[in-house]
Each structure stands twice: as structure tokens, then as C-alpha cells.
Amino acid sequence: MTRTLATTAEQSSAAPRMIYPRMEIPRPFHVRSTERSLDVALITEGTYPFHDGGVSVWCDQMVRGLAPDRFHIDAITAGLDDTVCWQFPENVVEVRRIPLWGRGRRIRPADRLSPSIQQDLEPFLMSITTGDVDGSFLPSLRALATHARDGSLSGALNTNAAIELAIRSMRATSISRHVEVGPPAPTIADAATALTFLEHFLRPLTAAPIDVDLCHASSNGLSALPAMAAKWTHGTPFLLTEHGVYLRERYMEYAPGKVPQAQRSFLLGFYKHLSLAAYQMADAIAPGSDYNRRWQQANGADVDKIEPIHNGIDVDGFKSTAANTEHPTLVWVGRIDPLKDVKTLLRAFVRVRLAIPNARLRIYGGTPPGNEGYLRECLDLRDKLGLEESAAFEGRVRSIADAYLSGDVVVATSISEGFPYAVLEAMASGRAMIATDVGGVSEAIDDAGILVPPQDEVSLANACIKLLGNPELRAALANDGRERVRSRFMVELSNERYGELYDDLVDAARGSSEVRS
């Protein structure tokens, strides 16, 4: 099959631009042993192959590890400006970009709302705002997917009639609160803005449903939409993997005060019901941690569908060598993002410097598009705290393995995580680990590191001071961490289980098809 890269929602015959990743991450080339090969759609949102990060590492490792299965990448992106930053193996046969925003797409409002679209849109909007009490979200989403594919939905969402439906549904929520004092009543502007976001969020449904053996969504939310469309159209089995907790992170993204309350309620209602619908539609759910499993079960996922599969790494790609630092040094690795909480790290480091005046902090990682403002805030905070000479923002590095080795202790400060690669990589590199106790981090570290509460600069600083001042404890934790990764979190184990799950889902789907025929 010819390898092509599509740069819009419609497939192109242009050849992909093959370049090396900006971060040189050790990646195994383990080949799956099988008598057959499958065509798999791997669906991503804001990650592989246009961005670095833990989910992208997971995608790359799995694609390579499950050869000779052929992978068709459906990449949901913000726009058209991102550049491919991963080198594709031969079993990536197609990359299709599905942009949510960006230039080149002008939606002409329809003159009126057709009766068929109104019939499907009205219950959909009402389900978003009033809690989907009658279970209409998923069937009305399926009906809207048909309109999206024929090109009529985007324009329809820009009509005055659609705005009237939206404000009616938003005000139904306000009336149902039964409170004397509440937020302001939703306005026409609120409804119009909510529909604008909805039109962009539903754009993955405008792409032709891919006809493959299996769809594998690498996160919940928007990534589930192409998988749902393929299942509705072709009966394609759908595997869902969640690394972070998608819905929880949307609540953090749309914290109170960031957008008007009526818009916030609408957007979070959409994300909530979409996430729950994905659990319902998925044939199997493979969360990255037991923490994710508990979250999914609490939100209605069928326990019989769920099997956690921990991330794995190539331990041999991370060499454990003794630290050769001139000063006691902390290392932090990750993307510059509010979820990674760099600000608490900086505040904690001020306390570390009071106890260990010659301590240093090295912060490695790039800044995703849209996070430039947060980077400026972090740099301003660093300077305000007087850390210009002791805390360095290193940016992206060619070798992530060398980054871990550049310090004595590795620190992770996230406020939300799934099962982070940075923790596994740091332990594989023979570095003592301090991390916030969020998501599946405790499953990775157990007693081979120090866990602290998130957003707690005092606890974080005390743990850093303790390890920087105790080389014997550092060495013991480093040894325990490396052995824990080697015994439990090898990439071969992860890929083997995904391969088995692929086969089980495809066999079950083909068996059901034969029975129906």
C-alpha cells in the first residue's frame, strides 16, 4: 500500500514529510509475531504525530511494536500549522489530519434550519444542558453524524434557528435549578458562542469514516468521534485507551471564571456526555492505570469491558550512570503546561535554595502551541523569585535520556496524570524520583520513590531537601526504581497485551458478522 500523508480532513496523495523527532526518545523495534496483519485506525487528539509527549511516545512504541499490523493515523489537530515531528515506521501507511480550527475552512451559514436537522439537533442540545435524562445524547449524535458527513451540519449550526434552540436548552437548565439567586440567564451571545465551539468540536464527524479492522482511540472525548462513526457505518470494533482522565482535565481547563457560566455549563455538559457515550460505544476499554479504571467505573463504564494496560518502556534505552553534577541538581521533564504545575515547582525550589544554597534546577521540555502565555508566566515567576541564575528552562532536548542523567533527583509536579512516561524513564535512568500523588503515579512508583500531595510546595521542597542531602537514600531509591521498571513496565509486556486485545476484538466482530449473515 502506498504511504500517504493527508494534510486536511480529505485524503491527499502527497508524500509524508519524514523527519526525526525533536526529542530523541529511545524506541524499541520489537516485532509482533502473528500469522496475520490487521488494518488499525489509531485516532489521536493533539498528540502523535504532530507533538511530543507521553501519549505520542506510547503511540510510536505501539505502532512499531505491533508490526506487521498496518496503522492509519487519524490525527485531530487544532489547525493546519503543526509539523510532523516523528519518523514513521513502514507499517504506518496513512496519516490523515482532521483540523478543528485554522484557516482554509469558511462555513457559510445556512439560510434556514432544515426540519430533519432540527429534529436531531433539538434533543441533542437539550441532552447536553439538562443531564440527558432520557438518553437522547447518543442517538441524536449518531443522527447528526449523518448531517456532518453530507456537509450540512456546520452551516446549520450558524443559523438563527439553531441559536434559538441552543438558548432554549440553556435556559431550561437555569429554570430547573430551583434557586432564588444564581448566575445570569444565558444570553443570545452565550448560545451563539456555544454553537461555534460545538461546530468545531464536531468536525471529526465530517471526515469519511475509515474502513479498517479496528479503531483504537488514544484518548476519550473528540478522539472517540471517528471511532463511533466507523462503528456506525462499518461495524468496526472500537478500543478506547485513556492515559489521563479526559473529563477531569476538561473541568480543570474550564475552571470557574475562565468563560461565562452559561458557556462553561454547556461545554462541560457536551464533554461529559461525549465521554460517557464513548464508554458505552467502546467494545473494550484499556486504561493506562488502575486509577483510570476506577474513574471509568464511577462514570458508568461496564466493568467487564475494562482491562488496565500499564505503559511500558525500553529499559535498555535508558542507561543508569552515576551523577556527575557540580552542584546538587533537580531535574524536571515534561511539556510546559498548567497541568504540569511548573509554578509550584519554582516556589518549592525557593525553599530548597534556602536549605541548600548551591542547588540547581533544570527544566526540560517544549511549550505546546497555545501555552506560550503560561511559559511567560513561569519565566516571570522565576525572575520574581530571584531564581534567574539557578533555575534554567532548557526547552526541548535532543536526548531525553541525557536530560534525566543531568541531575541527582528527578521531580514530577503534575496535578493530573494517567500513567506518566517521565516517571518510568527517570526510574529506568537510575534516578531517585519525587512525584505528586495523582492519577496512576503511585502505581508506577510504589515505595521506590517519594510521593507528595499536588500543589503543596512545602511537602515538595522538604522531599527535595531530604533526597539531595542523603546520597545513600538516593542510591537505594534509584536502584529500587530501576528494578521495578525492569520487572513490571517493559514495553514488550504492554505491546503483547495490546496485540492480543486487537485479535480478540477483531475475531469477535468477524464472528458476529458471520452469525448475522
Number of domains in the chain: 3
Q: Using pLDDT thresholds of 50, 70 and 90, give the confidence band for residue 512.
A: low
Residue pair 212/236 in contact by the 8 Å Cβ criterion: yes
The contacts of residue 198 (CB under 8 Å, 6+ apart) are 157, 270
pLDDT value at position 174?
47
Instruction: Convert the pLDDT of each residue in 57-113 to its tens digit.
Output: 999 999 999 999 999 999 999 988 888 999 999 999 999 999 999 754 556 666 689
Confidence of residue 385 (pLDDT cuts 50, 70, 90): very high
Looking at residues 6-16, what average pLDDT do you find? 34
- Residue 190 lies inside a defined structural domain of this protein: yes
- Domain end position, chosen among 171, 199, 227: 199
149 and 214 housed in the same domain: no
Question: Looking at the structure, do residues 465 and 336 belong to the same domain, yes or no?
Answer: yes
Cα 83 to Cα 78: distance, rounded to the nearest angstrom: 12
Residues 15 and 90 in one domain: yes
Cell of 174: 437555569
- The answer to whether residues 279 and 261 belong to one domain is yes
Same domain, 238 and 100: yes
The pLDDT tens digits of the residues spanning 420-448 come to: 889 999 999 999 999 999 999 999 999 99
Q: Residues of the chain with pLDDT > 70: what percent?
A: 88
What pLDDT is recorded for position 213? 98
In the chain, count of helices (H) and strands (E)?
A: 18, 13
The enclosing domain of 455 has a CATH number of 3.40.50.2000
Q: According to the model, what pLDDT value does residue 205 have?
A: 98
Residue 463: give the domain boundaries: 315-489
Residue 446 and residue 434 in one domain: yes
Contact 345, 434 (CB under 8 A): no
Instruction: Quickly state the pLDDT bin for 362 (edges 50, 70, 90).
Output: very high
Q: Which residue, 166, 151, 157, is CA-closest to 109?
A: 157
Query: Could you tell me the pLDDT band of residue 514, with boundaries at 50, 70 and 90?
Result: low
Confidence of residue 389 (pLDDT cuts 50, 70, 90): very high
What one-character DSSP code corresponds to residue 31?
Answer: P
Do 156 and 221 share a domain, yes or no? no
Confidence (pLDDT) at 154: 92
Is residue 110 in some structural domain?
Answer: no
438 CA to centre of own chain: 15
User: Is 204 inside a domain boundary?
Assistant: no
73: helix, coil or strand? strand
Query: Which residues on adjacent β-strands are paired with residue 199?
Result: none
- Strands of the sheet containing 39-45, edge to edge, are 4-6, 92-99, 70-77, 39-45, 214-217, 238-240, 284-285
